[in-house]
Amino acid sequence: MLVHAIPTNTTYEFAADVRAGLTRPGQKELPSKYFYDDVGSALFEVISHLPEYGLTRADERLLRRYSNEIVDRVVGPVAVAELGSGSGKKTRWLLEALCRRQRTLYYPVEISPSALAMCERELGNIDSISIVGFEREYLQGLLEVAAYRQSGQRLFVLFLGSTIGNFDRPAGVKFLCEVRRILEPGDSLLLGTDLEKPSAQLLPAYDDELGVTAAFNLNLLARINRELDADFDLNQFAHVAQINHHARSVEMHLRSMRKQIVSIPAAEIVVEFQEGETIWTESSHKYSAEEIVVTAACAGFRCETQWIDEQWPFAENLLIVE
């Protein structure tokens, strides 16, 4: 697999985002995209196998069951771009279905080099596939993929899992609008969305009994220690998962267990925490199936079809650019 690496100074960007998030007035925040260093990516792979976390299995069930039907609805010839490919494991069913029909160019877009390496190992043995990875953020990577478009070729973009749920609703619509601006009529987007479900089913998915999600959350502070020379004491922060009923989301926070001061030299800041103060690290918004159709239309897509898993309410939505 040929990988196009990021030419910018990612440590500088990381430091700038940490500085902005931890010095903002009111609620301190850290961007969830920084979860996925080598350690975080490995921990998320473990999370996807936990009994409490049914989302990944629902995603995989739908892709396994309906892969042929999905690709039959995509007008080809197409090239496939996946935003946030992870290990690529669940993408195999779609790619195998496409490769039975045509030779397929697959462009995984990932900010994690270890995830791109796992993706190449997972998918590189599929017949009739060529893989070119982009170590980029979503939109930057998609822009570069679009520049590779051949005459008469359409793009089939994958945004699987529940990553759209990491955006609040207005930001989610804005992101989909930006994706739409890169695409052309006839292109398509397969969008994964986690659906609303009872709190008793939802909350343990973000606060599992083994504490893997807690380790995943705390690794964000460990990463700041490793890469920005900070002195976070991980024993003085606790993982918190809570439901925001108004936003229809699950929030993850890191709560300071005492009053403390943390130095982050590479970000040129010293941060004071009060006892009980939190850093907001992620939100995962949940949707209704009907809401997705309206959201897609607001962003300039037509929702062609939805496939819904009933065991763990989750939807794959095929959106078409008209």
Average pLDDT, 10 consecutive residues per value, the chain (322 residues)? 57 94 97 92 92 95 97 90 89 95 93 84 90 92 94 95 94 97 96 96 96 98 98 98 96 98 97 98 97 97 97 97 90
pTM for this prediction: 0.92
Q: Tell me, what DSSP letter sits at residue 122? A: H
Lookup result for tokens 């986690």: 194
Nearest to 317 by CA among 302, 301, 306: 306
The domain spans of the chain are: 55-197+287-321
pLDDT in tens, 244-261: 999 999 999 999 999 999
pLDDT at res. 9: 62
257 DSSP assignment:
S
For position 4, what pLDDT does the model report? Answer: 61
Q: What is the pLDDT of residue 94?
A: 96
For residue 38, the model assigns a pLDDT of 87
CA dist 196 and 286 (Å) reads 5
Look at residue 306 in the predicted model and tell me its pLDDT: 98
CA atoms within 13 A on the CB side of 138: 18
CATH homologous superfamily of 55-197+287-321? Vaccinia Virus protein VP39 (3.40.50.150)
Distances (CA, A) of 226 to 11, 222, 232: 11, 6, 10
Q: Look at residue 41 in the predicted model and tell me its pLDDT.
A: 87
Picking from 87, 98, 145, 150, the residue whose alpha carbon sits closest to that of residue 126 is 98
Sheet holding 278-285, edge to edge: 28-29, 278-285, 249-256, 237-244
Residue 167 — φ and ψ, nearest 5°?
-90, 145
Which residues, listed in sequence order, are joined to residue 241 by a DSSP beta bridge?
Answer: 252
Residue 3: its pLDDT value, please? Answer: 60
Amino acid residing at 69: E
Query: CA dist 288 to 35, 270, 304, 309, 314, Å?
Result: 27, 42, 16, 13, 9
